[in-house]
C-alpha cells in the first residue's frame, strides 16, 4: 500500500515538473483561462445598449419631435446625429456611425391628426444580427407604447372611458438575469470549456508523449502498475481542473459580480463528474492516437469544439439545427453548462439538476471503462 | 525463497506470433548467472520480442520462460523488482535534471532513502556526472545520457539487466566506455542480457546466441561458435578499389562468399581449397586489380554470422 502511494507520488511530482518546465503548457493551462475569462467578460459582449441611432425628421412638426423624444429617453438608443435626407442613412451605415435609423416621413403629424396610419421607417444595420434583432424589438415596443398613448389621448378627447375597454398591457421582465448581462450568462459556461481543455487535451497529450519518449516501455518493466500510472497521470490534471473551477468561480463572483443563487454542492458534484468524464475522453484519445499531433487535433475536435459550440455556451441549443442538437447529447459539455447556469443563475440544487448529473455520471463511467479496455488491449497483446 | 542458483534465464519452446507472422519460433535458451550474454541478430529477427516476453510485458503464444527462477508468463509481477531494462531510447525525461530523473526511478522502485543515497552516489560516479546533478538531461551529450540511463535502469540493483541495443547511435569511444561499465556490473554479480547488431560487440560477451528469423541458429561461447560453425578459411583483402574487387570476388571460382568487413574485404574459401594468399593476389593482378594486400585471418564472429545466415537462405 505504501509502495503504491510512493509510486503514484513519483508520477505526480514528475508531472508537475513537466508542467513547470514547459512554458507552452503553462501558458495553455494557466494564462489561457484568464485571457478567455477577460475576453468573454469584456470584449465579447452580447449586451445591447446605447445603439448609435440616426434620426431623420422629414416632418419637422411638434408631433414628430414628441415621437422622437421616446427614442432619446430610451437607454437603449443613443441618438448620435440628425439627418435631413434619406441619403444620410446610407452614409451613416456605410461609415458605421449609426446602426439604426429612424425616418419620419413628411406628413406624419397631418396623417395622425386625420386619423390615418402614419408612416415611420425604422432601418436596422443587419451586419450585427444580435444588435439588429434587439433594436427591431425595441423600436416595435416604442411604437406600440406610442400608439397606446395616442389611443388614450383620442379617447379622452372623445370623452370615452377606456377603462371599460379591455386592453392588454405587456409587462416584459427577464428572469434570472434581469439586466441581461452577457457575462452572467457566459462565465458559468466558460468554466466548462476551460475544464474540457485542461483535462481532455492535457491528459491525452501527456500520455501520448510518454509513449513517444520510450518511458512508457521503461515503466512497463518496472513494478509500477498500469492503474498507478493512470492515477498518477490523471491526479495532477484533476487538481488543476478543480483549481481552475475555483478560480473562475472566485473571479466571476468577485470581479464580475456573478450571482451564486443555487446549491454550491450541486455545482461541485457536477464539476467532479464532468472532470472524470473529460479525463476518460483524454484517456480514450491517448489510447487511439498514434502521435502527439493526432492527439492534439482529436482533443480539439471532441473536447474544445463541442463544449464551445454544442453546449449552449455560444449558441442556444434550441436554435441550432436538429441534427446538431442530437449530436450535442453525445458530448458531456451540454449537461455541465446546464448545471452551471442552473446553479449560478437560477438557484438550482440537486432536485433540479439531477438528470444532468446522472447523464454525466453515466458518461464518466462509460468513458473510463472503454478507455481502460482499450489500454489493456494495447498493453498485453 | 527464490532460488539464487540455476540459470538466470531458461526458455523452452518460447513462441510468439503476431497474426500470421511468427516473430519468435520455439526458442530454447539457458543463460547462466553472472555473465554477459549476447543476443545477436539482424533487425527484425525477434530480439526485442524475446526481451519483451522475458520482462513480462508481452505474453507468449506458447512455451515456458523462467527468469531468476520465476515463471514470467504466469507471474510477471514477481520478477519486476529484480530485473532492470534499458533500451536504445534511454527513457530519460529530458526536461528534468539528472537528479530528478534518478529520484523519479527511485520512487517507482520504492527505494528507501538510505539505499537511494548510496545508489545515487554510485550512479553519479559511474556515469561521471558528479557536480552535474542539477543539469537538465537535454543538455547532456549522448554518451552521458546513455550512462545516466544505465544508472537509472540499475538504481534498484537488479540481479538481471536486459539491454536492448543500448549502443545504437553512440560513437565508438562512448561505446567502448559503456562496455567497461557493463563489465563492472558483471563483476558485481549482475547477469547481463544484451542485444546488439554490432558484431564487434559480440566478442565482449561470455556467451552468445544468434537469432535469425525467430530461430536460434547458433549458441555457445564465442570460441565454441567459431570452432563449431566455421569450416572455411577467411582471406582478408585490402584494396584501394573495394567496389570493383568485391564485384570480381563475388564471381570468382573457389570463393564461397565475399563481403565488406570494416575497412577491408573478406573472402570465404573452402577449407580444402588450394587458394593461397599469393595465389589470390596474382589472380586479382591478372584481372587488373593492383596494389592489393591479401592475408589469411582467423574468422571473426561477424564472419561466422554472415556464413550462418548465408546457409539459412
Would you call B8 helix, strand, or coil by DSSP? Answer: coil
Residues A144 and A291 both lie in one domain = no
Contacts of A232 in chain B (CB under 8 A): none
Specify the domain boundaries for CATH 3.30.70.100 within chain B: 230-312
B134 interfaces chain A, CB cutoff of 8 Å: no
Query: Cα separation of A97 and A88, whole Å?
Result: 11
Residues A188 and A240 both lie in one domain = yes
CATH 3.40.190.10 for domain B230-312, yes or no, is no
Q: Note whether B87 contacts A18, CB cutoff 8 Å.
A: no
Q: Note whether B77 contacts A223, CB cutoff 8 Å.
A: yes
**Grid coordinates in use for B49?**
520480442
Q: What is the pLDDT of residue A48?
A: 63
Beta strand ranges found along B202-246 (DSSP E): 207-212, 215-220, 233-238
Residues A88 and A237 both lie in one domain = no
- What is residue B303's DSSP assignment? H
In a domain, A205, yes or no: yes
Residue from the list B18, B84, B107 with its beta carbon closest to the beta carbon of A7? B107
DSSP A168-206: -------SSSTT--HHHHHHHHHHHHHHHIIIIIHHHHH
In a domain, A128, yes or no: yes
Those residues with Cβ within 8 angstroms of residue B302's Cβ, 6 or more apart along the chain or in another chain: B199, B200, B202, B261
Question: Among B66-80, B91-105, B208-222, B288-302, where is mean pLDDT lowest?
Answer: B288-302
Range of the domain at A194: 13-44+181-379
Mutate to test the interface with A, among B52, B67, B68, B91 (most CBs of A within 10 A): B91
**B residues 152..191 contacting A (CB < 8 A):** 153, 162
B90 interfaces chain A, CB cutoff of 8 Å: yes
Residues A282 and A195 both lie in one domain = yes
Query: Cα separation of A31 and A23, whole Å?
Result: 10
Residues A366 and A273 both lie in one domain = yes
Q: Distance, in angstroms, between B4 CA and closest chain A CA?
A: 20
Those residues with Cβ within 8 angstroms of residue A166's Cβ, 6 or more apart along the chain or in another chain: none
B216 pLDDT above the threshold of 60:
yes
Mark which of A129, A164, A199 sits at the end of a domain: A164
Q: Note whether B85 contacts A221, CB cutoff 8 Å.
A: yes
**Grid coordinates in use for A335?**
449537461
Confidence of residue A381 (pLDDT cuts 50, 70, 90): very low
Query: Cα separation of A103 and A59, whole Å?
Result: 9
Q: What is the pLDDT of residue A168?
A: 60
B5 pLDDT above the threshold of 80:
no
Would you call B193 helix, strand, or coil by DSSP? Answer: strand
Q: Distance, in angstroms, between B203 CA and closest chain A CA?
A: 28
A188 pLDDT above the threshold of 80:
yes
Among candidate residues A221, A216, A15, A232, the one with its CA nearest the CA of residue B153: A221
Residues A348 and A282 both lie in one domain = yes
**B residues 260..279 contacting A (CB < 8 A):** none
Q: At what angle do helices A62-73 and A129-158 cross, to 10 degrees?
A: 130
**Grid coordinates in use for B305?**
554470422
- ipTM of the shown complex: 0.81
User: Which CATH fold would you assign to the domain B9-226?
Assistant: Rossmann fold (3.40.50)
Q: Distance, in angstroms, between A218 CA and closest chain B CA?
A: 6
Residues facing residue B267 across a β-bridge: B235, B258
Q: Note whether B104 contacts A14, CB cutoff 8 Å.
A: yes
B110 interfaces chain A, CB cutoff of 8 Å: yes
- Alpha carbon B171 to its chain's center: 16
Q: What is the pLDDT of residue A169?
A: 58
A228: nearest CA in chain B?
B108
Contacts of B107 in chain A (CB under 8 A): 6-7, 9-11, 13
Q: What is the pLDDT of residue A163?
A: 63
In a domain, A6, yes or no: no
Provide the sign of the torsion angle of the four alpha carbons A273, A276, A280, A281, taken in this order: positive
Q: Distance, in angstroms, between B109 CA and closest chain A CA?
A: 7
Percent of chain B residues topping a pLDDT of 70? 98
Instruction: Report the helix count and the strand count for chain B, using DSSP H and E.
Output: 9, 14
Mutate to test the interface with B, among A205, A221, A233, A378 (most CBs of B within 10 A): A221
Query: Cα separation of B189 and B183, whole Å?
Result: 10
Would you call B83 helix, strand, or coil by DSSP? Answer: strand
Residue from the list A14, A214, A381 with its beta carbon closest to the beta carbon of B89? A214
B97: nearest CA in chain A?
A17
Residue A58: which CATH number? Answer: 3.40.1710.10
B18 interfaces chain A, CB cutoff of 8 Å: yes
Percent of chain B residues topping a pLDDT of 90? 51
Residues A195 and A115 both lie in one domain = no
A220: nearest CA in chain B?
B57
Number of domains into which chain A is organized: 2
Q: Note whether A381 contacts B104, CB cutoff 8 Å.
A: no
Q: In this structure, how many other beta carbons lie within 10 angstroms of the beta carbon of residue A304?
A: 16
Place of cell 570480381: B248
The size of the A-B interface in CB pairs under 8 A is 80
pLDDT digits (tens, 9 = 90+) for B34-80: 999 999 988 888 999 999 999 988 999 999 999 999 999 999 889 99
Whole-structure pTM value: 0.76
Q: Note whether B109 contacts A222, CB cutoff 8 Å.
A: yes
Q: What is the pLDDT of residue B1?
A: 42
Q: What is the pLDDT of residue B4?
A: 60
Q: Cβ(A53)–Cβ(A100) under 8 Å?
A: yes
pLDDT digits (tens, 9 = 90+) for B271-301: 878 888 888 888 888 888 888 888 888 888 8
Query: Cα separation of B258 and B245, whole Å?
Result: 10
Q: Which contacts of B72-78 are long-range, i.e. CB under 8 A and separated by 24 or more positions?
A: B77/A223
Contacts of B59 in chain A (CB under 8 A): 380-381
Residues A264 and A189 both lie in one domain = yes
Contacts of B48 in chain A (CB under 8 A): none
Among candidate residues A377, A212, A201, the one with its CA nearest the CA of residue A285: A201
Q: Distance, in angstroms, between A259 CA and closest chain B CA?
A: 43
Residue from the list A6, A214, A218 with its beta carbon closest to the beta carbon of B107? A6
Residues A356 and A280 both lie in one domain = yes
Query: Cα separation of B200 and B106, whole Å?
Result: 34
Query: Cα separation of B288 and B267, whole Å?
Result: 18
In a domain, A1, yes or no: no
Residues A204 and A294 both lie in one domain = yes
Q: At what angle do helices B142-153 and B98-108 cross, to 10 degrees?
A: 20
Confidence of residue A335 (pLDDT cuts 50, 70, 90): very high
Q: Cβ(A36)–Cβ(B111) under 8 Å?
A: no
**Grid coordinates in use for A2?**
505504501
N residues, chain A: 381
Task: Give the phi and the psi of residue B240 in degrees, each rounded to 5.
Answer: -70, -20
**Grid coordinates in use for A172?**
416584459
B62 interfaces chain A, CB cutoff of 8 Å: no
Q: Note whether B109 contacts A219, CB cutoff 8 Å.
A: no
Q: Distance, in angstroms, between B88 CA and closest chain A CA?
A: 9
Please compute Rg for chain A using Cα positions: 29
Query: Cα separation of A300 and A289, whole Å?
Result: 13
Contacts of B57 in chain A (CB under 8 A): 217, 220-221, 379-380
Q: Note whether A213 contacts B91, CB cutoff 8 Å.
A: yes
**By CB neighbour count within 10 A (0-12 exposed, 13-18 middle, 19+ buried), where does A250 fall?**
exposed
Confidence of residue A130 (pLDDT cuts 50, 70, 90): low
**CA dihedral defined by B42, B64, B58, B152, rounded to 10 degrees?**
-80
Residues A33 and A159 both lie in one domain = no
Mutate to test the interface with A, among B68, B109, B110 (most CBs of A within 10 A): B110
Query: Cα separation of B255 and B257, whole Å?
Result: 6
Mark which of A138, A164, A190 sits at the end of a domain: A164
Q: What are A's interface residues with B at a Cβ cutoff of 8 A?
A: 2-3, 6-7, 9-11, 13-14, 17-18, 21-22, 213-215, 217-224, 379-381
Among candidate residues A187, A213, A180, the one with its CA nearest the CA of residue A40: A187
Mean of pLDDT values over A261-285: 90
Residues A156 and A217 both lie in one domain = no
Amino acid at each position: 500500500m505504501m509502495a503504491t502511494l510512493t509510486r503514484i507520488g513519483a508520477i505526480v511530482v514528475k508531472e508537475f515538473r513537466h508542467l513547470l518546465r514547459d512554458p507552452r503548457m503553462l501558458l495553455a493551462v494557466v494564462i489561457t483561462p484568464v485571457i478567455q475569462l477577460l475576453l468573454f467578460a469584456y470584449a465579447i459582449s452580447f449586451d445591447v445598449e446605447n445603439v448609435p441611432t440616426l434620426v431623420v425628421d422629414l416632418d419637422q412638426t411638434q408631433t414628430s419631435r414628441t415621437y422622437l423624444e421616446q427614442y432619446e429617453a430610451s437607454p437603449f438608443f443613443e441618438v448620435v446625429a440628425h439627418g435631413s435626407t434619406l441619403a444620410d442613412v446610407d452614409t451613416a451605415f456605410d461609415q458605421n456611425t449609426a446602426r439604426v435609423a429612424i425616418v419620419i416621413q413628411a406628413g406624419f403629424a397631418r396623417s395622425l391628426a386625420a386619423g390615418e396610419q402614419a408612416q415611420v421607417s425604422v432601418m436596422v444595420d443587419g451586419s450585427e444580427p444580435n444588435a439588429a434583432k434587439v433594436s427591431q424589438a425595441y423600436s416595435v415596443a416604442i411604437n406600440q407604447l406610442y400608439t397606446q398613448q395616442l389611443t388614450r389621448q383620442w379617447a379622452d378627447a372623445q370623452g370615452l372611458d377606456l377603462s371599460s375597454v379591455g386592453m392588454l398591457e405587456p409587462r416584459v421582465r427577464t428572469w434570472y438575469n434581469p439586466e441581461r448581462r452577457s457575462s452572467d450568462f457566459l462565465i458559468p459556461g466558460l468554466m466548462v470549456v476551460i475544464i474540457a481543455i485542461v483535462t481532455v487535451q492535457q491528459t491525452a497529450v501527456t500520455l501520448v508523449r510518454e509513449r513517444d519518449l520510450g518511458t512508457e516501455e521503461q515503466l512497463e518493466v518496472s513494478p509500477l502498475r498500469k492503474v498507478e500510472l493512470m492515477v498518477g497521470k490523471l491526479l495532477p490534471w484533476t487538481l488543476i481542473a478543480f483549481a481552475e473551477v475555483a478560480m473562475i468561480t472566485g473571479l466571476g463572483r468577485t470581479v464580475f459580480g456573478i450571482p451564486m443563487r443555487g446549491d454550491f454542492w450541486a455545482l461541485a458534484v457536477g464539476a467532479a463528474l464532468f472532470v472524470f468524464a473529460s479525463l476518460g475522453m483524454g484517456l480514450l484519445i491517448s489510447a487511439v492516437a498514434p502521435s502527439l499531433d493526432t492527439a492534439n487535433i482529436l482533443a480539439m475536435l471532441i473536447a474544445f469544439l463541442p463544449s464551445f459550440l454544442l453546449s449552449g455556451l455560444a449558441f442556444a441549443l434550441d436554435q441550432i439545427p436538429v441534427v446538431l442538437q442530437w449530436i450535442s447529447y453525445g458530448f458531456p459539455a451540454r449537461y455541465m453548462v446546464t448545471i452551471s447556469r442552473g446553479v449560478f443563475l437560477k438557484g438550482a440544487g440537486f432536485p433540479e439538476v439531477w438528470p444532468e448529473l446522472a447523464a454525466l455520471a453515466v458518461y464518466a463511467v462509460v468513458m473510463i471503462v472503454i478507455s481502460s479496455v482499450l489500454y489493456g488491449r494495447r498493453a498485453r497483446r | 525463497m527464490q532460488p539464487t542458483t540455476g540459470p538466470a534465464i531458461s526458455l523452452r519452446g518460447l513462441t510468439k506470433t503476431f497474426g500470421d507472422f511468427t516473430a519468435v519460433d520455439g526458442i530454447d535458451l539457458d543463460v547462466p548467472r553472472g555473465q554477459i550474454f549476447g543476443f545477436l541478430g539482424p533487425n527484425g529477427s525477434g530480439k526485442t520480442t524475446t526481451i519483451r516476453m522475458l520482462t513480462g510485458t508481452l505474453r507468449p503464444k506458447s512455451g515456458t520462460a523462467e527468469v531468476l527462477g520465476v515463471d514470467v508468463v504466469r507471474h510477471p509481477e514477481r520478477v519486476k523488482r529484480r530485473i532492470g531494462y534499458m533500451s536504445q531510447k534511454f527513457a530519460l525525461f529530458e526536461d528534468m535534471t539528472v537528479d530528478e530523473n534518478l529520484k523519479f526511478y527511485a520512487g517507482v522502485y520504492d527505494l528507501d532513502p538510505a539505499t537511494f543515497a548510496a545508489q545515487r552516489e554510485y550512479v553519479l560516479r559511474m556515469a561521471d556526472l558528479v557536480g552535474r546533478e542539477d543539469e537538465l538531461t537535454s543538455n547532456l551529450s549522448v554518451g552521458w545520457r546513455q550512462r545516466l540511463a544505465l544508472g537509472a535502469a540499475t538504481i534498484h540493483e537488479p540481479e538481471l539487466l536486459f539491454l536492448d541495443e543500448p549502443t545504437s547511435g553512440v560513437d565508438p569511444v562512448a561505446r567502448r566506455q559503456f562496455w567497461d561499465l557493463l563489465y563492472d556490473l558483471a563483476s558485481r554479480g549482475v547477469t547481463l542480457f544484451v542485444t546488439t547488431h554490432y558484431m564487434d560487440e559480440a566478442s565482449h560477451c561470455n556467451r552468445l546466441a544468434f537469432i535469425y528469423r525467430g530461430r536460434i541458429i547458433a549458441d555457445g561461447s564465442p570460441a565454441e561458435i567459431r570452432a563449431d560453425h566455421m569450416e572455411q578459411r577467411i582471406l582478408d583483402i585490402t584494396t584501394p578499389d573495394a567496389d570493383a574487387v568485391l564485384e570480381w570476388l563475388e564471381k570468382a571460382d573457389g570463393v564461397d562468399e565475399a563481403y565488406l568487413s570494416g575497412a577491408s574485404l573478406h573472402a570465404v574459401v573452402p577449407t580444402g581449397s588450394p587458394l593461397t594468399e599469393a595465389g589470390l593476389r596474382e589472380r586479382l593482378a591478372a584481372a587488373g586489380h593492383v596494389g592489393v594486400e591479401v592475408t589469411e585471418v582467423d574468422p571473426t564472429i561477424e564472419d561466422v554470422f554472415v556464413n550462418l545466415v548465408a546457409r539459412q537462405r
